[in-house]
Amino acid sequence: MPVILASSSPRRRELLEKAGLVFEIVPSPAEEVHDASMRPEELCELNASIKAAEVAGRRTDAVVIGADTLVFIDGQPLGKPADLDTARAMLRQLAGRVHQVCTGVCVMFPDGTRKIFHGLTKVTFLPLGDEEIDAYFALVNPLDKAGAYGIQEHGERIVAGIEGDFDNVMGLPVKLVMAALEAESGCGEGVDG
């Protein structure tokens, strides 16, 4: 049975390849919901479900994995910044503090079954001034990343530590995804790792 990742994220692709899963990539053009009044888990799971449903509607023969990652601080979601000024403001807000990274996942099966879940990881940032932020942005494009950073790209320059799953901060709680695939359909059987 084909497995589809409903995302163009190179980080999610890398994580699933590393887990040994064979899959196709069919990005979802679905519009995400932006509602700061929702709990982080609910918002990420809702957006993951919207993305998965859009692709599953076109590919009824496949298992579809949709995901949505957001950074939350003080209950406020930080998505992908629109420009460098917004990205700088996000890192200033995160500097020296603890925030949460939530990745919601929806796995849709051809029979209509859905498995919806999320990963939650606490991330502590180093204190950062404008000089450190600019040095980080010289190495990393912040505009395609929730919260304006990627932990896997020079994360040591900005992150003091994490509590939870590193893969989740990258954009996909792989162990949870593989468990959902194996439990429901056997899609994950025989993979390495």
Q: Are 164 and 121 in contact (CB under 8 A)?
A: yes
CA distances from 99 to 75, 91, 95 (A): 9, 11, 10
Q: What is the dihedral of CA 140, 145, 147, 150, to 10 degrees?
A: -50
> Annotated catalytic residue: which of 35, 68, 134, 192?
68
| Two tokens, residue 21 | 């899963």
Cα 105 to chain centroid, rounded: 8
The verdict on whether 68 is a catalytic residue reads: yes
User: Which residues are designated catalytic?
Assistant: 68
